[in-house]
Amino acid sequence: MPKTLAITDFLQAPGIILDVRSPAEYTQGHLPGAVSFPLFSDEERAQVGTCYKQRGREAAVELGLTLVGPKLAHFVQQAKAFTRDCTIRMHCWRGGMRSSSMAWLLETAGFEVVLLEHGYKGFRRWVRQVLAEQKPVISLGGMTGTGKTAVLYALADAGEQILDLEKLANHRGSSYGGLGLPPQPSTEQFENLVAMAWSQLSSKCPVWVEAESRMVGTCRVPNELFEQMRTAPILQIERSQTERIEYLLQEYGRADRAQLIRATERLHKRLGGDRTKAAINSIQQGNLAPAIAIVLDYYDKTYQHDLQRRGGRLTRSLLRVYRHRRSPKNC
């Protein structure tokens, strides 16, 4: 009988994590670092589910065995390719038949397997609990092009705790934010990634985070965290428009023009027809600075509105925030 571990112990245990749920379930959300190792394909899972509803559990189990039987040797070979020490962590949706069956097979083949208590469903409960943990947040605010991410990592280099939501979301948070980056995770997977990062941060020291809106591209910032960000003090970073345009030229100057144009077209309703046309013409001519200036005017107004709506406490003094939030006795 495989050993079952609670989520905290499971995450700290050795061995690769195999997720035996279907590929679609895995894509929707999974433990960070877990490898998809499906017992059933999406189509097979649908067949078994339909059989269960129409003919009952016994018939569904028989169908499952019929589908899985020819693949048993392949599962063992695939597992051997993933690990050299034969140590495996494994889970399914609720810690039921799928993970238990696969664990039995792999243990029979000589692997050491531990299962996740309550499966991925239990992990998702843990995610909600972790995200609700209160930590002393400080937000880095500033209009587009002020280099908030660079400041965030300068703080990290100085030994401060940071949470980079844009990195976890694969998006810089504007219509242009996905250019040159991998596809975004689902919001569920984004929550999983944020929870894992949040769980590693101390509640005794400040956590620096960019003052994001509720959406980072298509990823929604978890409500529990967003409420902490909304009420946190905001350190405002300020740069001249000339500096901001130069910064954005460095950031997007080598981006594909067609992608830049599509991103600008997405702002058509907000920029208006004339300004959208002028910005696109500048991009087509390879003269990005005027286009950036046009777009910045829109984003500046949006930022000011969002700042007022969120009611964040604004300060321009790094020293003031730092002394207010950090105590040498606690950090």
| 174-230 per-position pLDDT tens digit | 899 999 999 999 999 999 999 999 999 999 999 999 998 899 999 999 999 999 999
In the three-class reduction of DSSP (H, G, I as helix; E, B as strand; rest coil), residue 5 is classed as strand
pTM for the full predicted model: 0.90
CA–CA dist 111, 81 (Å, integer) = 12
Q: Is 181 exposed, middle or buried (0-12, 13-18, 19+ CB in 10 A)?
A: middle
What is the band of 310 on the pLDDT scale with cuts at 50, 70, 90? low
CA 5 vs CA 13, 28, 47, 134, 157: distances in Å: 9, 24, 31, 26, 36
**Would you say residue 328 has pLDDT above 50?**
no
Farthest CA pair distance, the chain: 71
Contact status, residue 39 vs residue 101, Cβ threshold 8 Å: yes
- Weakest-pLDDT range from 201-210, 243-252, 304-313: 304-313
Look up residue 191 and give its two tokens: 């929550």
Order of strands across the sheet that contains 161-163: 161-163, 207-210, 137-141, 233-236, 313-315
What is the band of 315 on the pLDDT scale with cuts at 50, 70, 90? low
pLDDT, one tens digit per residue, over 128-155 is 999 999 999 999 999 999 999 999 999 9
Domain ranges in the chain are 3-128, 135-325
CA–CA dist 99, 119 (Å, integer) = 9
The predicted pLDDT at position 323 comes to: 41
- Find the mean pLDDT for residues 36-46: 96
Q: Is 41 exposed, middle or buried (0-12, 13-18, 19+ CB in 10 A)?
A: middle
What is the band of 173 on the pLDDT scale with cuts at 50, 70, 90? confident
What is the band of 309 on the pLDDT scale with cuts at 50, 70, 90? low
The residue ranking higher by pLDDT, 264 or 303, is 264
Look up residue 250 and give its two tokens: 């460095």
The predicted pLDDT at position 207 comes to: 98
The share of the chain scoring above pLDDT 90, in percent, equals: 82
What's the fold here for domain 135-325? Answer: Rossmann fold (3.40.50)
**Would you say residue 320 has pLDDT above 60?**
no
The predicted pLDDT at position 127 comes to: 98
The share of the chain scoring above pLDDT 70, in percent, equals: 92
Q: How far apart are the first and last CA of the chain?
A: 44
**Would you say residue 5 has pLDDT above 50?**
yes
**Would you say residue 324 has pLDDT above 90?**
no
For the domain spanning 3-128, the CATH number is: 3.40.250.10
**Would you say residue 69 has pLDDT above 60?**
yes
Q: Is 31 exposed, middle or buried (0-12, 13-18, 19+ CB in 10 A)?
A: buried
For the chain, the average pLDDT equals: 91
Rounded CA Rg of the chain: 25
Kind and range of the H or E run holding 194: helix 187-199
Distance of CA 270 to the CA centre of its chain: 28
**Would you say residue 249 has pLDDT above 60?**
yes
Q: Which of 51, 86, 92, 205 is catalytic?
A: 92
Domains 3-128 and 135-325 share a fold: no
**Would you say residue 321 has pLDDT above 50?**
no
In the three-class reduction of DSSP (H, G, I as helix; E, B as strand; rest coil), residue 134 is classed as coil
What is the band of 32 on the pLDDT scale with cuts at 50, 70, 90? very high
What is the band of 241 on the pLDDT scale with cuts at 50, 70, 90? very high
Contact status, residue 89 vs residue 116, Cβ threshold 8 Å: yes
Closest CA to 179 of 254, 68, 274: 254
The predicted pLDDT at position 213 comes to: 87
Let me know if 219 is a catalytic residue. Answer: no
Which residues of the chain form beta strands (DSSP E)?
3-5, 16-19, 35-36, 87-91, 112-116, 137-141, 161-163, 207-210, 215-216, 219-220, 233-236, 313-315
